Chains A and B, each alone.
Chain A
Amino acid sequence: MRADMLTSILQELNGTSADIEASGIISTDGLIMAAVLPQGLDEDRLGAMSAAMLSLGDRTAQELGRGTLEQVLIKGAKGYVLMAYAGSEAVLTILAKPNAKLGLIFLDVKRAAENIASLI
């Protein structure tokens, strides 16, 4: 039931923006909780990598005096990976196109993360 509701949040997120190609909710230990992914994308890898990046980002923000981590953004030639905490025990990860409007993406991700946090 809760997994369906989490999936529903992700479907809405993906539907809100044509620039979002995939999204997933992952535990802080790297295990997938829900995902809406295109064919061929390994959800286990997405989960483990996202949690690892956020964990490292957390540590980096602390060590370099940047305060509490809010997001991790990776920019590649083929697009973006954006990770944000959704509560204290989950991570929301999205994959976006290279020409994505980041301002809107950040807003959509923030809202989705808040909804997810309230469910978990």
Chain B
Amino acid sequence: MAQTDFETLTAYAKCFAGLTPEREKLLVEIGPTVSPALPRITEAFYGTLAAIPATAPFLEGRLDLLKQTHLRWLNGLFTGPFDVDYTKALYKVGYVHVKVNLPVEFMAGGMTLISDRLITEIDRIYSGEDPLRLGALGAVNAILGFSLLVMQQSFQNSSLHEELEKFLKITGMSRALFNNLTAVYSKSK
């Protein structure tokens, strides 16, 4: 599998999600105001997951650790910098999700829950300050979209890698042979 080009992925994800330098700056600016609400969002997030029969088993025995990690990530949405290192850290999340066999829809579903809570909080905090409220909502939407794109990319690549490893193990084929086989057929397209 090809090494991930994090520079390209960062630029691509930002472009796709609309995470502009202005929105990055705004996220950091509103951070101190928004951050007191974040622990509440984490609690609500895991409260919802615990009530869904399909997701609850994944929380067993690790809820406190998950909440700490989640809160750290939420705070990161409002501190930045949103650079290649930030992308690399997000990319690891997708990989970890595959390792613990989380179904693919958990990331999009989870992001929807978070988005819902953050929208509610931002709306409450900046009620009556329409330009700032709308700007903040746009920035939050962009950083969440960026995050999901990077994590899903990683999830997909990690899933493919796991499936390939299984295939190579079952067939006894070496990685070198597999790479040469695909190279021959890629070149002759």
Residues of A within 8 A of B (CB): 28-31, 42, 44-45, 47-49, 51-52, 55-56, 58-59, 62
Of all chain B residues, the one with the shortest Cβ separation from A44 is B184
Say whether, besides A42-B188, A45-B188, A55 and B174 are in contact (CB < 8 Å).
yes
Q: Are B184 and A45 in contact (CB under 8 A)?
A: yes
The complex places the Cα of A47 from the Cα of B176 at a distance, in Å, of 13
Q: Is the interface of A mostly helix, strand, loop or mixed?
A: helix
CB distance from B127 to the nearest CB of A (A): 64
Contact indicator B184/A55 (Cβ below 8 Å): no
Other than the given A51-B181, A52-B177, A56-B171, 18 more pairs (CB < 8 A) read: A28-B174, A29-B176, A30-B177, A30-B181, A45-B184, A45-B185, A45-B188, A47-B184, A48-B177, A48-B181, A48-B185, A52-B181, A55-B174, A56-B172, A56-B173, A59-B170, A59-B172, A62-B172
In the assembled complex, the Cα of A65 lies from the Cα of B173 at a distance in Å of 18
- Nearest 10 interchain pairs by C-beta: A59-B172, A30-B180, A29-B176, A48-B181, A48-B184, A44-B184, A55-B173, A30-B177, A29-B177, A56-B171
Query: Chain B residues in contact with chain A, CB under 8 A?
Result: 170-174, 176-177, 180-181, 184-185, 187-188
A29-B177 Cα distance, complex, nearest whole Å: 4
Q: Is the CB of A29 within 8 A of B180?
A: yes
Contact B180 A31 (CB under 8 A): yes
- Residues on B with C-beta less than 8 A from A49 are 181
Partner of A51, one of B170, B177, B185, B188: B177
* 20 CB-based A-B contacts, threshold 8 Å: A28-B177, A29-B174, A29-B176, A29-B180, A30-B176, A30-B181, A30-B184, A31-B180, A44-B184, A45-B185, A48-B184, A51-B181, A52-B177, A52-B181, A55-B173, A55-B174, A59-B170, A59-B171, A59-B172, A62-B172
